[in-house]
Structure 1
Amino acid sequence: MARSTTGKSRFKIQRSLGIELPGLGKAGALERRPYGPGQHGNKRKKISDFAVRQKEKQKLRYHYGLREGQLVNYVKKAKKDKSRAWMDSLLITLESRLSNVIFRLNWAPSMLAANQMVSHGHVVVNGKKINVPGYTIKKGDVITLTDRGYASLNFTQAQATPRLPSVPACYSVDAKTAKVVDLPLPSDIPFEYAGQLVTEFYWKVKP
């Protein structure tokens, strides 16, 4: 299972990217400063074009809790889809990951918690337990949790203090059952990002 961080704290990740990423869960108030983190952060430093683009793709990587190799594989898959712009295809795929769906339904307080719920067999899709966080949901899928899932601390915590204010319109939620009524949209991404910069960062990646 991919970790949502690589040794750095959730706060430091968000501090370095200059943005709150909902998938990392609550990490304290993010104080915005006109300089970067660290003891030398207040020194003016020119940021390269590469660093600017890398920063944007890191937002996706950390929010969804992916390793770099996983994200690259998603990019390759998206570039094979000729039905729409590959960046849109990438975002729809990331939003369609089962762990993300559990998080967006406010059934888990963070993406890591959602990954754990799926991996531990607490998530049921169309009557069948699914333990793969990267499982892709489809239109018409019905998603529930096991009794242990509904009784888990992750679920009760997320229900008591939702990380996000609302559930995307592509999901219909009735009591403890959710149905996928449509595919997620790129506009459903719950944080600001510059898709063009991500496109430019991965322009050399072949399908």
Structure 2
Amino acid sequence: MSKRHESKYKINRRLGVNLWGRPKSPVNKREYGPGQHGQRRKKPSDFGTQLMAKQKLKGYYGNISEKQFRRYYADADSRKGDTSENLIGLLERRLDAVVYRMKFVPTVFAARQFVNHGHVLVNGRKVTIPSYMIREGDVITVRTKSRQLPLVLEAVESAERDVPDYITVDHDKMEGTFVRTPQLADVPYPVTMEPNLVIEFYSR
């Protein structure tokens, strides 16, 4: 099993949720955490609830580092409007998240690697930074030589998830457009996300 898969499954087990809604998740069989004390349950404190919300949101986007995630919070907090909505908008504008939403790859972990390896063009230019911030109207294309890769074909044919309406995609051309920055209600999370608790965690 690749390190990427191990990391993904560890996050699911630790949080006790099927974070990406995949049928192969170990949480589908065992909803409790790993280890000999995994089945013990106790009511979490307010801090514990906020921490769990942060870990879920961080984990969903490929286990973003704490330093980078805190920068997203600071950016969201400095903008006008609702901070939690701003945070979701920033996370959904990451290039790896957009590539995942467009169903060019099966997982967000694969999306990060896919971008790193130079398989993606933004407005006709190669971008290899997964955290690159996409803007409304940007066109994302899979490079011609990468379109027959097994993971790309697997993702396109998968019925596990749909492309959200804030993105348009033509899988025949392997090209999509980021139409608009979504709000929390627009994002098809398989589990409930609570960015308001994340904001509370950082604003303590």
Aligned residue among 70, 77, 82 for 1:79: 77
Aligned to 2:28, what secondary structure does the other structure show? coil
Aligned to 1:179, what secondary structure does the other structure show? strand
Runs of 4+ in 1 over 4 A off after TM superposition: 23-26
CA drift of 1:4 comes to 6.8
The gaps in structure 1 that reach 5 residues or longer are none
Q: Does 1:10 align with 2:16?
A: no
Matches within 5 A, 1:185-204: 185-187=183-185, 188-190=187-189, 191-204=191-204
Contact kept, 8 Å, 2:91 with 2:97, in 1: the verdict is yes
Q: Where does residue 154 of structure 1 map in the other structure?
A: 151
Q: Does 1:90 align with 2:87?
A: yes
Q: Where does residue 20 of structure 1 map in the other structure?
A: 18
Q: Does 1:167 align with 2:163?
A: yes
CA drift of 1:153 comes to 2.4
CA RMSD of aligned residues (A): 2.4
Contact kept, 8 Å, 1:98 with 1:135, in 2: the verdict is yes
Q: Could you state the TM-score of these two structures normalised by the residue count of structure 1? A: 0.85
Q: Where does residue 68 of structure 2 map in the other structure?
A: 70
Greater displacement, 73-82 / 40-49:
40-49
- The share of aligned pairs that are identical, in percent, is 38
Q: Could you state the TM-score of these two structures normalised by the residue count of structure 2? A: 0.86
Measured in 2, the distance between the counterparts of 1:4 and 1:192 equals 23
Contact kept, 8 Å, 2:105 with 2:154, in 1: the verdict is yes
Q: How many residues align?
A: 197
CA drift of 1:163 comes to 4.1
Q: Where does residue 112 of structure 1 map in the other structure?
A: 109
Q: Where does residue 184 of structure 1 map in the other structure?
A: 182
Measured in 2, the distance between the counterparts of 1:155 and 1:97 equals 19
